[in-house]
Amino acid sequence: MNPQVDNSVVTTTVTLISALVLLAAVLFMGASLIGVIDNVPPDDGSRKQAAILERIKPVSQVSFETPKPAAVVKLSGKEVYNKVCAACHAAGTLGAPKTGDKAAWEPRFAQGIDTLVNHAVNGIRAMPAKGGDPSLTEANLHDSIVYMLGESGIKVETAPAEAPPAPAPAEAK
């Protein structure tokens, strides 16, 4: 036989065996990959849904609850006046009686201090409830009203705003 024919037979055989080995390796890797893919749990869409909800969540929320003060701070009547009341009562904004105007405060004081405190707590006409600061207590408002009346020249006895009720007289047997 011709050496050239022998050489082509060997080359063809080696090429064929190499191709079969390569095919077997590819099939083995494919089978291994299919085995790994089968072990991954199917995606039920929860990750997509969580990503969507995270992307479209609102930036803030509206709450109609009255905020609770972090800590009760005892403020004097002057401090409450400077913090809240002076915004309107120093200049007489929207018909608020000016601090220091005795003529404007006398008819209001004639209604009684409890009525003035009630108006301050619940609001009246253009005045918002608690002067717009929901953290204020009735005692704070009472003290600030007493302060404004005092600055207006009206003397008020300084009884505490939240005095305990007087005990009922005992019945005689």
CATH superfamily of the 77-151 domain: Cytochrome c-like domain (1.10.760.10)
Helices (H), 40-137: 46-56, 77-80, 86-89, 102-110, 113-122
Provide, rounded to the nearest whole percent, the portion of the chain with pLDDT above 90: 10
Q: What is the pLDDT of residue 163?
A: 43
Note the pLDDT tens digit of each residue in 68-92: 766 667 888 888 888 888 888 888 8
DSSP-assigned beta bridge partners for residue 124 = 127
For the stretch 112-126, pLDDT in tens is 888 888 988 888 888
What is the distance between the alpha carbons of residues 121 and 143, in angstroms, rounded to a whole number? 12
Residue ranges of the domains in the chain?
77-151
Q: What is the pLDDT of residue 45?
A: 75
The pLDDT value recorded for residue 81 is 87
